């Protein structure tokens, strides 16, 4: 009787006029996911009843609409487990699909597989996966818990991934675009927690916790056979991947840039990596591919011991490490107070070396990585081109703390945020092609000098400008069409504080 009441209440909660139906899977309902999907219409909810269900389903073209999504979910009255099968299920060519509240374990292939059915011009699109748990996989090879091939416009949030295959990834993307991973938990990975390869582009990875991240907790790139690239003419494994406000403990290397271009890693905390902090590699050496380069590593807090101190960067052949930008990172070796710092491939501008970041309780399993009173990380970061939140969802101050967590708000008396009249600079758009727009905030009437520098620290000819600030915001246009593509730095001097912002020019 209780289950019936809960089921009815949930059906009423989801109902919308003449649209939503609940299609149960299990006792008294449809026998399988395939059976329910065969009759599902936009707006319907396919609900697995509480209990254990056999994996192995395959469904094609389960498609909602922008106004009426289809939902595949677990029973809110109890655990809903999809056990075994090569895949728990494979869904090909879906659209406007939400998957929620399911538990997966003991698959022998990939846990869940979502793909474009090989139709590269019609990707799977508008997918939300939330509040799902992968408990373990019954495989030891290149098997992934969540495999996505040709998926665009997606979100994976508030999920848990535990005990990955030794040779696989917890999440593997091939040719996926315009997606985000937010607030997930990864424990005991095999090779990787998240891998983005095969032409994957415009992905945000934020506010995730990585505990024991395997070989490379986040593998930005990888190696993909040419027939599987999406788009087929891609000349990169990964582009425009943003990794920010994540916490990493363990992993042979928290971050790998592998055939990656124009990717950014900023405001993350990396605690006791097992061998390296960062790897820069090129696994796919086909002549058409851009070599790994033009990436950034900014505002990251790296707390290591001697295992990852020499070297901290692992740099492979056929890469362009000299094109990376490193800025405002904090490096601390807990086992060697005299450690000179990492073997960075370029100068880490405004880096803090050898100062204890005074994290609150990092050694606990879930750790508290908040910098507390007196931490050199507080207020020592550089700004970002967009407003971002820390690991706990709080806005970073300006200037931000280094690391994934903004400094304890109770310590502001010791490390006060800038006064409203201190000089601040915002740059948009980013990256930029022909014209950058600069937004300056500072003391009314102050006269400042604006200059542009290249990666080698050389002032770019013709960019010197003297500007008198107005009350509020002073807006300037900076033409960039004449400059070669690459990283530059906008530098503003002359007020109480100097400001430096990276600027990426593309074509």
Q: Where residue 446 sits, what CATH number does that domain have?
A: 2.60.40.10
pLDDT (mean) for 134-162: 97
Domain shared by 459 and 378, yes or no: no
Q: Determine what percent of the chain is predicted with pLDDT higher than 90.
A: 74
Domain shared by 339 and 479, yes or no: no
Structural domain range at position 106: 9-411
Domain shared by 366 and 451, yes or no: no
Domain shared by 113 and 148, yes or no: yes
Task: Let me know if residue 407 belongs to a domain.
Answer: yes
Task: Let me know if residue 418 belongs to a domain.
Answer: no
Is residue 413 pLDDT above 60, yes or no? no
If you search the block for the tokens 């903004």, which residue do you land on? 406
Q: Which of 352, 396, 382 lies closest to 503 in space, CA to CA?
A: 382
d(CA 490, CA 438) in angstroms, rounded, equals 9
Kindly report the CATH number assigned to the domain that includes residue 313.
Answer: 2.160.20
Q: What is the DSSP string of 461-475?
A: TT--EEEEPPSSEEE
Residues 358-397 pLDDT 10s: 999 999 888 999 999 899 999 999 877 677 899 999 999 8
Domain shared by 403 and 437, yes or no: no
- Among 380, 411, 442, the domain boundary falls at 411
Kindly state the helix (H) or strand (E) to which residue 360 belongs, with its residue range.
strand 359-361
Question: Residue 19: its pLDDT value, please?
Answer: 55
Question: Residue 422: its pLDDT value, please?
Answer: 63
Residues 246-304 pLDDT 10s: 999 999 999 999 999 999 999 999 999 999 999 999 999 999 999 999 999 999 999 99
Domain shared by 307 and 176, yes or no: yes
CB contact at 8 A, 399 and 381: yes
Task: Let me know if residue 417 belongs to a domain.
Answer: no
Kindly state the helix (H) or strand (E) to which residue 251 belongs, with its residue range.
none
Domain shared by 310 and 404, yes or no: yes
d(CA 17, CA 237) in angstroms, rounded, equals 45
Task: Let me know if residue 459 belongs to a domain.
Answer: yes
Question: Residue 412: its pLDDT value, please?
Answer: 42
| 441 band by pLDDT with thresholds 50, 70 and 90 | confident
Domain shared by 389 and 462, yes or no: no
Domain shared by 344 and 401, yes or no: yes
Distance of CA 379 to the CA centre of its chain: 23
Task: Let me know if residue 4 belongs to a domain.
Answer: no
Of 89-93, 462-466, 484-488, where does the model show the most confidence? Answer: 89-93
Residues 158-174 pLDDT 10s: 999 999 999 999 999 99
Q: Which of 21, 28, 19, 18 lies closest to 50 in space, CA to CA?
A: 28
Kindly state the helix (H) or strand (E) to which residue 315 belongs, with its residue range.
strand 313-315
- Among 357, 377, 411, the domain boundary falls at 411
d(CA 411, CA 375) in angstroms, rounded, equals 9
Residues 313-353 pLDDT 10s: 999 999 999 999 999 999 999 999 999 999 999 999 999 99
Is residue 193 pLDDT above 90, yes or no? yes
Torsion angle defined by CA atoms of residues 41, 43, 45 and 46, in that order, rounded to the nearest 10 degrees: 20
Domain shared by 76 and 112, yes or no: yes
How many Cα atoms are found within 13 Å in the side-chain-facing hemisphere of 178? 7
CB contact at 8 A, 64 and 42: yes
- Among 362, 380, 411, the domain boundary falls at 411
Q: Kindly report the pTM of this predicted structure.
A: 0.88
Count: domains in the chain = 2
Question: Residue 146: its pLDDT value, please?
Answer: 98
Question: Residue 10: its pLDDT value, please?
Answer: 40
Q: How many CB atoms lie within 10 A of CB 468?
A: 10
Question: Residue 376: its pLDDT value, please?
Answer: 97
Q: Which two structure tokens, joined as six digits, stand for 367? A: 């750790």
Strand partners, 241: 203
Task: Let me know if residue 176 belongs to a domain.
Answer: yes
Torsion angle defined by CA atoms of residues 111, 115, 118 and 119, in that order, rounded to the nearest 10 degrees: 170
Domain shared by 443 and 310, yes or no: no
pLDDT (mean) for 409-428: 55
Task: Let me know if residue 78 belongs to a domain.
Answer: yes
Helix (H, G, I), strand (E, B) or coil at 64: coil
> In degrees rounded to 5, what are phi and psi of residue 339?
-55, 130
Q: Which of 232, 236, 208 lies closest to 222 in space, CA to CA?
A: 236
Domain shared by 396 and 313, yes or no: yes
Mean pLDDT of the chain: 90
Is residue 132 pLDDT above 50, yes or no? yes
| 446 band by pLDDT with thresholds 50, 70 and 90 | confident
Residues 35-60 pLDDT 10s: 999 999 999 999 999 999 999 999 99
> In degrees rounded to 5, what are phi and psi of residue 297?
-140, 100
Task: Let me know if residue 419 belongs to a domain.
Answer: no
């Amino acid at each position: 009787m209780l289950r019936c009441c809960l089921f009815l209440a949930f059906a009423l909660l989801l109902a919308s006029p003449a649209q939503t139906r609940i299609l149960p899977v299990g006792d008294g309902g449809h026998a399988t996911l395939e059976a329910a999907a065969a009759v599902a219409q936009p707006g319907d909810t396919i609900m697995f009843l509480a209990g254990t269900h056999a994996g192995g389903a395959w469904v094609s073209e389960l498609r909602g609409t922008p106004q009426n999504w289809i939902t595949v979910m677990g029973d809110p009255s109890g655990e809903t487990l999809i056990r075994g099968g090569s895949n728990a299920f494979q869904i090909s060519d879906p659209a406007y699909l939400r998957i929620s509240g399911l538990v997966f374990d003991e698959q022998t292939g990939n846990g869940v597989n979502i793909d474009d059915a090989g139709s590269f011009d019609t990707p799977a699109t508008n997918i939300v996966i939330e509040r799902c748990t992968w408990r373990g996989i019954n495989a030891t090879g290149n098997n992934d818990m969540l495999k996505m091939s040709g998926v665009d416009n997606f979100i994976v949030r508030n999920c848990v991934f535990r005990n990955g295959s030794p040779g696989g990834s917890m999440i593997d993307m091939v040719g996926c675009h315009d997606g985000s991973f937010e607030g997930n938990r990864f424990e005991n990975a095999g090779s990787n927690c998240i891998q983005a390869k095969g032409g994957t582009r415009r992905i945000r990875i934020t506010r995730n916790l990585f505990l024991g991240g395997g070989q490379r907790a986040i593998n930005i790139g990888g190696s993909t056979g040419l027939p599987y690239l999406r788009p087929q003419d891609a000349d990169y494994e990964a582009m425009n991947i943003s990794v920010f406000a994540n916490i990493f403990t363990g992993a042979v290397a928290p971050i790998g840039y592998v055939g990656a271009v124009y990717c950014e890693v900023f405001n993350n905390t990396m605690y006791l990596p097992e061998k390296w902090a960062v790897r820069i590699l090129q696994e796919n050496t086909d002549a058409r591919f851009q070599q790994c380069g033009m990436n950034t590593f900014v505002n990251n807090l790296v707390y290591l011991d001697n295992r990852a101190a020499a070297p901290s960067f692992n740099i492979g052949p056929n890469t362009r490490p000299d094109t990376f930008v490193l800025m405002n990172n904090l490096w601390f070796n807990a086992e060697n107070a005299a450690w000179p710092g990492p073997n960075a491939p370029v100068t880490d501008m405004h880096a803090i070396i050898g100062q204890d970041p005074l994290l609150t309780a990092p050694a606990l399993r879930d750790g508290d990585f908040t910098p507390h009173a007196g931490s050199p990380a507080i207020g020592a970061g550089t700004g970002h081109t967009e407003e971002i939140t820390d690991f706990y969802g709080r806005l970073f101050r300006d200037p931000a703390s280094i690391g994934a967590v903004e400094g304890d708000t109770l310590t502001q008396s010791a490390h006060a945020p800038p006064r409203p009249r201190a000089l601040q600079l915002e740059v948009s758009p980013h990256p930029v092609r022909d014209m950058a727009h600069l937004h300056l905030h500072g003391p009314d009437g102050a006269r400042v000098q604006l200059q542009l520098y290249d990666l080698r620290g050389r002032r770019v000819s013709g960019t010197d400008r003297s500007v008198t600030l107005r009350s509020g915001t002073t807006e300037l246009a900076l033409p960039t069409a004449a400059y070669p593509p690459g990283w530059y730095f906008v530098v503003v001097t002359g007020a109480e504080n100097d400001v430096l912002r990276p600027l990426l020019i593309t074509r």
